[in-house]
Chains A and B, each alone.
Chain A
């Protein structure tokens, strides 16, 4: 029997991470989260077999606790992670546990529940889950708008474009900040604040916009602090079948080239494979031809489109969930092409970073619309070039800037609250970027302030809909919805609890360019993310080297403290034998001299 109660329990106890625990049932509850239903089910665990449990559904999560005495199993799944809910088995189904629900999740797992055939219990559960997992289809708000969590840090304050550009030394003699897009009238998918060449007038920008797909004109992403070469991003030029040209666009690119007083050509990296760029002419797009852009050199980076990436990730899931392919693991892994795609993305970013770092020329990056592959390339190149982005806050700023503000279509790519699981717009582009970052952190284990948990937390909340950070496709939409006022930022959660996300081995190094080795010999499947649901494959956590290091750190701190005390005792005796060594006024100066 399904109990549907619309009133929520009121007996809360707030725990450290802001999650309330419902005392009567010991079910975690966020402020603003309301109980919807609970029900006894059989959870068909792919690893340990069927387990009887009680499932609690709220407007935020699905929570299951085992009812069996010998099992401590708990499932805690935000509804946002659900991509598809299917009924399995029909009225005629025989066999134990063959009638129920199969839930496909966006985070590489499926959940299966067996239910009794009598009393519409499956229909009820299906309807409740569908309603709350896909609120958009039911004119319900996404949970982030109901979330009443409070943190002592405001994550929305992390990114301030003016400050970030100032950190980069902008504006300067060659680059200015323009407010031409203040109300998103130039380009509705760009941020309101843009950095453009000083010599290009707002009128020039408007004319260039007519020649760039969705008006996404070339604007500055990053400037090298010394050689002043820049990374500029945009969308493809609207060349079309007839091979149209646009003098303003050509001139604009030349202006960009000249900003660092280099005589060399501007390097254009088109993220697409050559054939795709050519094919895009048929739909009005294309690429910068040699004839039109004399002072530019174009390279294709052969990175495939969102559809290829989506299928590739599907194949990864096929070989890791629920069972890890045993006999031909390596060739199966190869046949997913996932790491091959990672390799190409990293290779492209290395090329961008190397071109800029060597000071040879400025770089312009685009793909088709400049919000998927382009974001991957610019943000990874910036991560390689600028050590600031390897800190926790720096990385948050990087994501906020290159992905969120520049209109990576999170809503379409992830499908927040949307029931159309087969939507061709969905694609794991941001996951692929995070995977690339993980590969880099694996190769340079001391270069990043954040740990693996940080990256996994970002990915978990990419889907969870608990925070407003990744909602909507672009800044203008977010502004219309007043996201920063009405929702909490993911960075609030992370920054108020930073220690959990810190890499103890982090060694801050300024001005060090990191070039990962984009070879299959070093690329690995991110087991702790993609295969984390399988208890057999669970990686050692924390790893023994890290554990030892933390122990030593603690020991060092203890020794420093003891040494201090000894020093105090000694110097107190030496300086004035009559004074008590425990006098605090005497202690302080010594402590300071010691450090």
Chain B
């Protein structure tokens, strides 16, 4: 399967020790030079995209069967992406190309996707930044989407190396002006003309009408109203132009603290309770000002807290929950686990995989996010309380928790359009600072710590499970939890009890997928999202296996049922309709890899991947390990 332009040590006879220093010898290059020019791929530029610099005879390493082969071609840098133009397409067969990303190709790295750039100097890997005195033999690019690229520059002309390396470093690391972001030149060049179908489209929450619809959909319009007080961003630029507040709240209150201290409606539960968020009032020392703030807040609270009719529970996410720093630290440790340079590294880390995973605390953070969302769901659903999420700017953890709650409680948010609308409502309109959190402008390293907040949302897939107890035993559990002191549940905290009761009771009943959905949050249930995190790692690829195998069976069956249905309709109407085209995805799906549709770097052979690293010390079991299996002496025989 190796293409003509392909050179390298693969071959299969004897695998060299996998390492990123396993270079291809220069003479091998020359023998193939002719084909290189033939196979060169043209650069595909988007409207408004400009080529900035390029270098030829660059070798891109491809990890395969724990050895590397090289493909060579041209490395270019545009104002949108870094692209490698090589002969790699030959490795793909037709079925796979269907699933190509039309904007970003397999060998494209958008400038904003670059996480870290390393250079290899005399077989030593160093981070590259700023002005370089010496240029590396090899460039390693770690991407934010966890791809790792290795480019060998040894056979590239010195001039070109300088140009491409400094070009890439500059365009991925230097601070950027907002107006210089590529999307503006793209938007100017490509006039958008996408008309959306009115019925089936994402709600953008850019108009008053959008908010009114959402109120109507969730039946929140009895107690809440959409306001236009921020039209033209007169009150605050941080807030959307239109939003929803409690009906009794006077609109004049909104500008008092530029929108701070105002409960903003997120979503209403079927029982009329609402999820709200509020940005905290500025911290003040002066007693008089504090007094003013207090009476203001008292007035505001009365609009959502009117016992016995309505009770509000305030959840201060700034003080009693994860900090953004926790999340950022965990994520940077976690992502390192997937940025793997070579096979040796993969297997070396494999043996201590679980402790590495644990020390990143990422999964624990995911669990805490889910748990918090379940707690709030419990307040809304079981205790009939309004919940007010409080945070400094109400634009980070508020977005995270409120959207998680809605995914659990509102089946509409689990549809594609509903989910997109949710992201638009809570994250885009909710004022999440994507620019800072993702550091799109490459401001400084300080800002970095606030990134990646949106990730927990995408990781936390709900996995509803069917219960163990039958429905009739439900009240038993309630009894047990409420009256008896079980040895398991030794928490005296009432909140914990309520949470447990709610959680256990839900899980003890059969799941209604169109209703409330609570994920399992026990240790063994929170797992790494393999499809996302392992998708570029060839060693982790299960050929013909993984969950995609059952999914494609399911799709096949759906297709068959559909075509039968059509045939029946035909018969009924006595007319012969056109035979539906069989989807070719499904025909070719028998041997999809577990990493489908991401793994275009499909391993070519069916050779198994074998761990290369050995056994970790057993510790206190060493004595046992030395014992014989059988107590009988062999001499006895």
A interface residues with partner B (beta carbon < 8 Å): 46-50, 70-72, 213-215, 238, 273, 275-276, 279-280, 283-285, 302, 304-308, 311-312, 322-326, 328-331, 333-334, 337, 339-340, 343-344, 347, 350-351, 353-354, 358, 367-369, 372, 424-425, 443-447, 505, 507, 512-522, 524-525, 527, 531, 535-542, 544-546, 548-549, 552-553, 555-556, 559-560, 562-563, 566-567, 570
Please list 23 pairs of residues, one from A and one from B, whose beta carbons are closer than 8 Å in the complex, sorted by A's number.
A70-B473, A285-B634, A302-B614, A304-B625, A306-B629, A324-B522, A325-B523, A331-B358, A343-B611, A347-B610, A358-B607, A367-B629, A444-B549, A520-B351, A521-B350, A521-B540, A536-B522, A537-B520, A538-B466, A544-B511, A552-B561, A556-B557, A563-B564
Is B528 in the interface zone, CB < 8 Å from A? Answer: yes
- Chain B residues, CB < 8 A from A519: 346-347, 350, 353, 539-540, 609, 611
Which stretch from B180-188, B399-407, B482-490 is at the chain A interface?
B482-490
- Shortest distance between the CB of A36 and any CB in chain B (Å): 29
- Shortest distance between the CB of B220 and any CB in chain A (Å): 30
Which stretch from B121-129, B231-239, B566-574 is at the chain A interface?
B566-574
The complex places the Cα of A353 from the Cα of B523 at a distance, in Å, of: 35
- Contacting A556 at CB < 8 Å: which of B473, B546, B564? B564
- Contacting A280 at CB < 8 Å: which of B465, B524, B549, B628? B628
Contact B354 A308 (CB under 8 A): no
Which residues between 176 and 203 of chain B lie within 8 Å of chain A, taking CB atoms?
A: none
Contact with A along B600-628 (1 / 0, CB 8 A): 00000011111100111010010011111
- Contacting A344 at CB < 8 Å: which of B479, B504, B615? B615
Given the contacts A354-B607, A513-B606, A47 and B488 also touching, CB distance less than 8 Å = yes
A-B interface, 6 closest residue pairs, ranked by CB to CB distance from nearest: A329-B523, A515-B608, A540-B465, A520-B353, A535-B468, A284-B634
Contact A331 B354 (CB under 8 A): yes
Which residues between 377 and 416 of chain B lie within 8 Å of chain A, taking CB atoms?
A: none
Is B534 in the interface zone, CB < 8 Å from A? Answer: yes
- Contacting B469 at CB < 8 Å: which of A304, A329, A337, A535? A535
Given the contacts A505-B553, A537-B525, A49 and B634 also touching, CB distance less than 8 Å = no
Contact A535 B615 (CB under 8 A): no
Contact B618 A304 (CB under 8 A): yes
- Shortest distance between the CB of A296 and any CB in chain B (Å): 20
Contact A308 B549 (CB under 8 A): no
- Contacting B355 at CB < 8 Å: which of A334, A425, A552? A334
Contact A545 B525 (CB under 8 A): no
**Which chain B residue has the least Cβ–Cβ distance from A368?**
B629
Contact B543 A311 (CB under 8 A): no
Contact with A along B349-361 (1 / 0, CB 8 A): 0111111011000
The complex places the Cα of A594 from the Cα of B634 at a distance, in Å, of: 67
The complex places the Cα of A556 from the Cα of B523 at a distance, in Å, of: 39
Contact A48 B549 (CB under 8 A): no
Contact A71 B465 (CB under 8 A): no
**Which chain A residue has the least Cβ–Cβ distance from B636?**
A284
Is B217 in the interface zone, CB < 8 Å from A? Answer: no
- Chain B residues, CB < 8 A from A513: 606
A312, A443, A541, A546: residue with the most chain B Cβ atoms closer than 10 Å = A443
- Chain B residues, CB < 8 A from A214: 637
Is B582 in the interface zone, CB < 8 Å from A? Answer: no
- Chain B residues, CB < 8 A from A46: 487-488
Contact A563 B568 (CB under 8 A): yes
Is B467 in the interface zone, CB < 8 Å from A? Answer: yes
Contact B624 A307 (CB under 8 A): yes
- Shortest distance between the CB of B278 and any CB in chain A (Å): 32
Between A and B, how many residue pairs show CB distances below 8 Å? 255
- Chain A residues, CB < 8 A from B464: 540, 544
**Which chain A residue has the least Cβ–Cβ distance from B358?**
A330
The complex places the Cα of A50 from the Cα of B637 at a distance, in Å, of: 53
**Could you list 19 further interchain pairs (A-B, Cβ under 8 angstroms) beyond the known A279-B626, A446-B549, A519-B353?**
A48-B480, A283-B634, A283-B635, A311-B624, A322-B488, A323-B488, A347-B610, A354-B607, A424-B627, A513-B606, A517-B539, A521-B350, A521-B353, A521-B540, A522-B530, A535-B504, A538-B467, A545-B551, A553-B557
- Shortest distance between the CB of A154 and any CB in chain B (Å): 33
- Chain B residues, CB < 8 A from A308: 618, 621, 624-625
- Shortest distance between the CB of A444 and any CB in chain B (Å): 4
- Shortest distance between the CB of A221 and any CB in chain B (Å): 19
Contact B565 A443 (CB under 8 A): no
Contact B357 A538 (CB under 8 A): no
**Which chain B residue has the least Cβ–Cβ distance from A384?**
B608
Contact B540 A522 (CB under 8 A): yes
Contact B610 A540 (CB under 8 A): no
The complex places the Cα of A311 from the Cα of B622 at a distance, in Å, of: 11
Contact A326 B523 (CB under 8 A): yes
The complex places the Cα of A50 from the Cα of B480 at a distance, in Å, of: 10
Is B157 in the interface zone, CB < 8 Å from A? Answer: no
Is B493 in the interface zone, CB < 8 Å from A? Answer: no
The complex places the Cα of A123 from the Cα of B33 at a distance, in Å, of: 89
Contact B625 A505 (CB under 8 A): no
- Chain B residues, CB < 8 A from A372: 629
**Which chain A residue has the least Cβ–Cβ distance from B623?**
A307
Is B17 in the interface zone, CB < 8 Å from A? Answer: no
Which residues between 512 and 529 of chain B lie within 8 Å of chain A, taking CB atoms?
A: 513, 520, 522-525, 527-528
- Shortest distance between the CB of A276 and any CB in chain B (Å): 7
Is B284 in the interface zone, CB < 8 Å from A? Answer: no
Given the contacts A47-B488, A305-B625, A537 and B551 also touching, CB distance less than 8 Å = no
- Chain B residues, CB < 8 A from A444: 542, 544-545, 549
- Chain A residues, CB < 8 A from B608: 350, 353-354, 515
- Shortest distance between the CB of A342 and any CB in chain B (Å): 12
Contact B540 A517 (CB under 8 A): yes
Contact B508 A535 (CB under 8 A): yes
- Shortest distance between the CB of A184 and any CB in chain B (Å): 15
The complex places the Cα of A324 from the Cα of B72 at a distance, in Å, of: 52
Contact B480 A516 (CB under 8 A): no
- Shortest distance between the CB of B536 and any CB in chain A (Å): 13
The complex places the Cα of A304 from the Cα of B363 at a distance, in Å, of: 31
Is B494 in the interface zone, CB < 8 Å from A? Answer: no
Given the contacts A72-B472, A505-B550, A517-B541, A425 and B465 also touching, CB distance less than 8 Å = no
The complex places the Cα of A279 from the Cα of B624 at a distance, in Å, of: 13
